[in-house]
Structure 1
Amino acid sequence: MGYLLFVTLIQAFSFSLIGEYLAGHVDSYFAVLVRVLLAGLVFIPLTRWRRVEPAFMRSLLLIGALQFGVTYVCLYLSFRVLTVPEVLLFTILTPLHVTLIEDALNRRFNPWGLVAALVAVAGAMVIRYDSINPDFFMGFLLLQLANFTYAAGQVMYKHLVARYPSDLPHYRRFGYFYLGALLVVLPAFLLFGKANFLPDAPLQWAVLLFLGLVSTALGMYWWNKGACLVTGATLAVMNNLHVPVGLLINLLIWNQHEDLGRLFLGGLVILGAVWISRRGTQEPPAIRRT
């Protein structure tokens, strides 16, 4: 769980950076493209091109296209029509997607996992339930697509690694993830990007550098690696921890006004969801036959 907690801090910080310095100032498609290219520069030179099953390569290309390509294009586009609080609110549904996809792939239904995901959603709503802009519907749809593809990617990666075990470390096979993301992001920028909305300040380039090398390269890698080490229910709950952490960072660094009582109460509810998720992993007592 340590990987997931660390990436939660990165994600929470990244939300504020995007909202404060990039949204409305830098073309969304260009920002996502730069993030993928920088992350690719880190991992592609480390990638093993042999001794990797072709089916694993194809699957990881698809996962990268979904979990980063589609997800982050939709996320950045949503900032055009939503405020940062609204974006945070609508991302709280990700645990439900994770739980349902995990159960579907396992061909089972885990009620504790669903309960934990719902409790996590409730906790995030306690923190981030603000008045909604009447024109929010398109942004809501964009974020629900982003929630689904982000959830699908991490759950699929967890199952993919289990299906194709290897003595190679994760990072020697992770470059295919960013190639898959590039297959979505590059055409999107070429078709819809606006060259007159490129970064024009050193701070904007510095933010993109951080988002590319830290949030995208290390963040996506550590998140997916961490996903392989926890249950599906715990993974679902961890997808909502960025909400209280993100609001706390906004409060401490950017002095945004937040209700500390709601922040504390919602955080406790989400921690309770983590405890509930672990109940689903407890082995039932053995039945002694006589």
Structure 2
Amino acid sequence: MTQTQTARLMDGAGLAARIVEECTSRAAALTERTGQAPCLATVLVGEDPASVTYVRMKRSRSAKAGIESRHVELPATTTTKELVGAITELSEDPAVHGILLQHPVGEHIDERAAFEAIAPEKDVDGVTMHSFAAMSFGLPGFQSCTPGGIMRLLDAYDVELTGKHAVVVGRSAILGKPAGMLLLDRNATVTYCHSRTRDLSSIVRQADVLVAAVGRARFIHGDDIKPGAVVIDAGYNAGNVGDVDFDSAKTRASLITPVPGGVGPMTIAVLLAQTVDAAERQLGVAER
């Protein structure tokens, strides 16, 4: 690919719509067969405007897909013990099939302890240590939703991963780290980088597949993209921009995700799909 050419866009919104359509059919079939609809419980601590918006959107999408939602709203003063107690109660409730703790929570809360209170079979957001281990070992379980969405996008565009050099820029427990594990499980050679990596540009330039998940607007520039690389921008920053400078990167990449409309819609689609998966398993009608 020459610099005068433009990368093909990876349509996450379109693929997500197809996944949600399938979820809707599966949810309806499950409800008809068992008399019980899939149920996703959302837990929100405090009133952070962005978190409130995210939870409202997820509940709305759930309803449209035939997934019931139960919402637990807790004050910002909630302690770790109180949050763990609320999540444990949901984990023990047979009417709840999936649990989503909206994060981040307050700095005074042990977020990891709260995540670990989610029963593994209800961890549809893929945030527990159990789910990370399953991803790392290629075992059945729930994927972290954004990395899971990335893998589905790569598959939809027939991106061959075996033997390819995948560079993940970012190391968060629910995005960068699990994305690398999923790529490794597909026989890619994976390099993890982050904002403190020395000579980051030289490593990024080696990437056949680049996953940008560092949380900094336009952190990666087109000059750092290997010609013909597949670029997955998992960042979302103020001004509707990703972690990659899209305009310069699209002249180098062969495939690239837009922001918005790329990885974001896939995250919610995977959450809904995994909620239906969880309900099917718990209600004893799973075919897989």
TM-score when normalising by structure 1: 0.26
Q: Which has the higher contact order (CA 8 A, sep 6+)?
A: 1
Write 1 or 2 for the structure with the bigger share of helix.
Answer: 1
